[in-house]
Amino acid sequence: MGSCYKFSLFCFFCLVINLFADENADGIAKERASLLSFMAGIVSGSSKAFEGWNSSGVHVCNWTGIKCNNVSTRVVELDLNGRSLHGRISPAIANLSSLMILDLSKNNFEGQIPGELGNLVQLTELSLSWNFLQGKIPPQLGYLPRLEYLDLGSNKLVGDIPSTLFCNSSSSSLQYIDLSNNSLSGKIPLRSECELKDLRFLLLWSNKLAGEVPAALSNSSKLEWLDLESNMLSGELPSAIIRKMPQLQFLYLSYNDFVSHDENTNLEPFFASLVNSSNCQELELAGNNLGGEIPSIIGDLPTKLVQIHLAQNLIYGSIPPQISSLVNLTLLNLSSNFLNGTIPPQLCRMRKLERVFLSNNSLSGEIPSALGDIPHLGLLDLSQNKLSGSIPNSFANLSQLRRLLLYENQLSGTIPPSLGKCVNLEILDLSHNKISGIIPVEVAELRSLKLYLNLSSNHLDGPLPLELSKMDMVLAIDLSLNNLSGTIPPQLGSCIALESLNVSGNILEGPLPASIGQLPYLKEIDVSSNGLFGEIPQAFQASPTLRQLNFSFNKFSGNISNRGAYAYLKIESFLGNSGLCGSIKGLPKCKKKLTYHLVILSILLSLFATPILCILWIRTRFRRQLSVFNGGDLEDEEKENEELKYPRVSYRQLIEATGGFSPSNLIGSGQFGHVYKGVLHDNTRIAVKVLNSKTAAEFTGSFKRECLVLRRTKHRNLIRIITICSRPDFKALVLPLMTNGSLERHLYPSHGLISHGLDLIQLVKICSDVAEGVAYLHHHSPVKVVHCDLKPSNILLDDDLTALVTDFGIAKLVKGVDENNIPANDSMSFNSTDGLLCGSVGYIAPEYGMGKRASTQGDVYSFGVLLLEIATGRRPTDVLFQDGSSLHEWVKRQYPYRLEPIVEQALDRCAPPHMPTYYNKIWRDVVLELIELGLLCTQYNPSTRPTMIDVAHEMGRLKQYLSDPSLLIEEGSIKYHDPTSNKNGVNP
């Protein structure tokens, strides 16, 4: 009996196990079918996105992006973020009943979020951010009982936020909610009976949310990050709510319609509510029209605060000196308010301040000299106030100062020569004050100025200093409305980057130097209301860049035509010059003077010139026929090599070296032809760049342009040429073969995926090399060159991974070329690029698309794209084709608070495993600096971009920082604040 019972029990267990196994097998089969249904909804994606999927011999647990439970082998994670997937999210995913993590972020999904996702009852993490999802948020998502992490940010979602997300028993487990950067409307649906006790991150910025901040949010006492910026929220600042959030670190309420307490007159309750948030680091309340005074209790805020942003409000009263207790503050922005009183000298106690904005207020009194004791101060904006007295000499101590803005005050005295010690100064604006005296030589020779110098509307006198000519990076100089005298020095023609010059409203005299009209980028010049005389130099009319000119109210004379740069002008540009005449409407017509002697001279010249021209024509014709008779190739090849002084390599030798230009030796292709590798008889390994024979005649100018550039430029970071080979039907450049290939090959070795091959130190060194090479082309080469096509494929790496810039096929020679040695019929053009758009898609500066001339700033833009490409791991064309925006615009949307995922991915690609924590911080700083420099280089307005010399300096500094961090840590050069990750500590 007992044996029968045991046997029956054994049979029962076997039956249960078999039933369980059958059920599990059925479940796995259903999951496979669901995944294949999901894949069927994908139109396109990266080549490895679905590696192993739909292979009969591969278990679903081994498919790309999938993880399974070790026991049941059921799918628990589907992670396909950043795979460039296009299509719609299939509801079939809801059949993955054991799924815990679903991450489809950073793709190109369209359509609506399937409501069926609400059936995934095991789900703890859902991330669909950075797609193009539309429609409303399904309310079913609010019923997921275990959901901890919800990220739907940066889509095109509309409508109200479903109340189920914030208010039901299932939502109580949520720790992270990100619905930012959508078009959501309505109120934040959090009622008094709702409790999100575990919520730590709430990001709702950049929507259309209205109403007040719900009081029930005070139940979320663990909140660390609250971002409600850029909505239409209203009511009083949520003091009672904030008071119950002791762990708050980042609070962003800017650009809403909040008011302060007591009918918008009292800010003290709000600041008091933050006193106990001991970890608070950043506070932003800008653009809310908040009224009241800044209370002295601001000094009791947590000392961990690094940023306070109160700009664009209605705050009045004085700046309380107690604010100086915030000793870790790096940014203080109180601009565009109604502040009065004096600037507290106690601000000097805030030794870590880097940027101070106090502009557009009613501050009075003198500028405290103590501000010169803030060692890391890089920007000081005190403009548009009522400050008086002189500029403190102590500013000479500000070695990191880059921007000093003191315009529209009541400052007097002289410009202190000690400002010349601010060797990093980029902008100096002292305009619209009462400053007198001369322009000090020390200030005039500040070569670091690369944006603008504005000393207009003061009482300055004396001559224009010759030292101004040393400002070879400055984009604009405005010295108008002063009492400057003497002549305009021709040496100003050395300000090679100058785009705007205004010296109007002075008492200058003498002729206008032609050298200024020859500046290659000059767009605007105003010399009106002076005493200048003589003819206006022809160089101004011939300038291809000038668009705004004002010569009025001087003593100019001569003929003015309506051609060239003058075609844009009206009589207003020439008023008050009685000696001028010409074809500009409103000017008197010039009288024609044709003398008897001129008639006789012209007849004699024509009699002698005609037979000479005929002889020259016959001689040229005969030489051309002889060349054709001899096949043309020998004469052309010998002439080209003799002119360029290169060793002779014959066409036959190139055929032998490349195996008859065999496809197996092809190492690259481009717009103008192909590049082959080969070996000469002396074992020299070469790369032969062959111009496409079908378009050889069309692109002859491009070939000669590259030859000329390579002949006259010599730099360790520019490719050197071995020789050239030129025949009527064949043209080639012979270059040394770079065994490490191009930078593109290392960034994207296969399948378009960015590589782990180069670490951050190597990448920074390569970028530093490129910056040095291009800076040489722009500023130091005997032939001033704009490259026009900077990109990874045009950066070669030698055996030591030293970068060499190559491919000058569409480069523009902008200055220093001996044009007399270039035949008139040569197709090389100095004012166009032969109908070509300057550069490659994704790297082209935006101004080129509007028909602007190629410029050094265009190269700076391309270099900035390269930096952003390396930092983000994204090709610029990927971003362009996904959402139509440039890589700059895409990164700018993340800056500065949403860069963490980008930095993490960069470290994954470029950092060695098990890197020490100390170096992790250093490398993170460098990645952030690369992003910031990339954004600076790719600004839309070319005039706001840095020059390549400055970029090379910054890259050299980063390279040095990586090799010896202590040097720059002491100097405080790395300034970017790295906020806590959005996902920090959340472990679904």
Check residue 345 and report its DSSP letter. Answer: G
Please list the alpha-helical segments (H only) found in 374-460: 441-444
Specify burial of residue 647 (Cβ count, 10 A radius: 0-12, 13-18, 19+): exposed
Beta bridge partners of residue 259, listed in sequence order: 236
Q: Which of 381, 429, 769, 789 is catalytic?
A: 789
Are 699 and 692 contacting, i.e. CB atoms less than 8 angstroms apart? Answer: yes
In terms of Cβ atoms closer than 10 Å to its own Cβ (0-12, 13-18, 19+), residue 265 is middle
Closest CA to 725 of 623, 653, 808, 806: 653
Sequence-distant (6+) residues with CB within 8 A of 771 are 863, 948, 951, 952, 955, 956
d(C-alpha 494, C-alpha 461), whole Å: 23
69: nearest Cα among 37, 29, 30, 96: 96
Phi, psi torsion values for 133, nearest 5 degrees: -70, 140
User: Token digits for 706?
Assistant: 């590259």
Distance set, CA 419 to CA 136, 370, 427 (Å): 58, 15, 12
Strands 803-805 and 795-797: antiparallel
Q: How remote is the C-alpha of 453 from its chain's centroid?
A: 23
Whether residue 239 contacts residue 275, with contact meaning beta carbons closer than 8 Å, is answered with no
Tokens linked to 552: 């009025």
Does residue 789 have an active-site annotation?
Answer: yes
Residue 150 forms beta bridges with which residues?
126, 177
983 is in an annotated binding site: no
Structure tokens belonging to residue 222: 């663990």
Contacts of 656-659 spanning 24+ positions with Cβ under 8 A: 656/681, 657/686, 657/688, 658/688
Q: Which two tokens stand for residue 767?
A: 């970028």
* Identity of residue 481: L
Backbone phi, psi, residue 692, to 5°:
-55, 120
Residue in 801, 805, 798, 796 with CA at minimum distance from that of residue 762:
801
Structure tokens at 193: 């009976």
Neighbours of 592 (CB within 10 A): 5
Residues 6 or more apart whose Cβ sits within 8 Å of residue 848: 837, 838, 839, 854, 858
The encoded tokens of residue 510 equal 């003498």
Letter string b/e over residues 9-46, b meaning 16 or more CB atoms within 10 A of that residue's CB: eeeeeeeeeeeeeeeeeebbeebbebbeebbebbeebb
Q: How far apart are CA 949 and CA 773, in angstroms?
A: 10
Positions of E strands within 374-522: 379-381, 386-389, 403-405, 410-411, 427-429, 436-437, 452-454, 459-463, 476-478, 483-486, 500-502, 507-510
φ, ψ at 818 (rounded to 5°): -80, 90
Rounded to 5 degrees, φ, ψ at 88 are: -120, 155
d(CA 580, CA 487): 21
> For residue 20, what are its two tokens?
């369980």
The DSSP code for 414 is B
Residue partners of 492: CB distance under 8 A and separation at least 6: 464, 468, 469, 498, 501, 513, 515, 516
**Amino acid occupying residue 843:** Y
Q: How far apart are CA 554 and CA 975, in angstroms?
A: 49
Q: C-alpha dihedral over 827, 829, 835, 839, to 10 degrees? A: 120
Binding site for ATP: which residues?
689
List residues forming the annotated binding site: 689
List, by residue number, the catalytic residues.
789
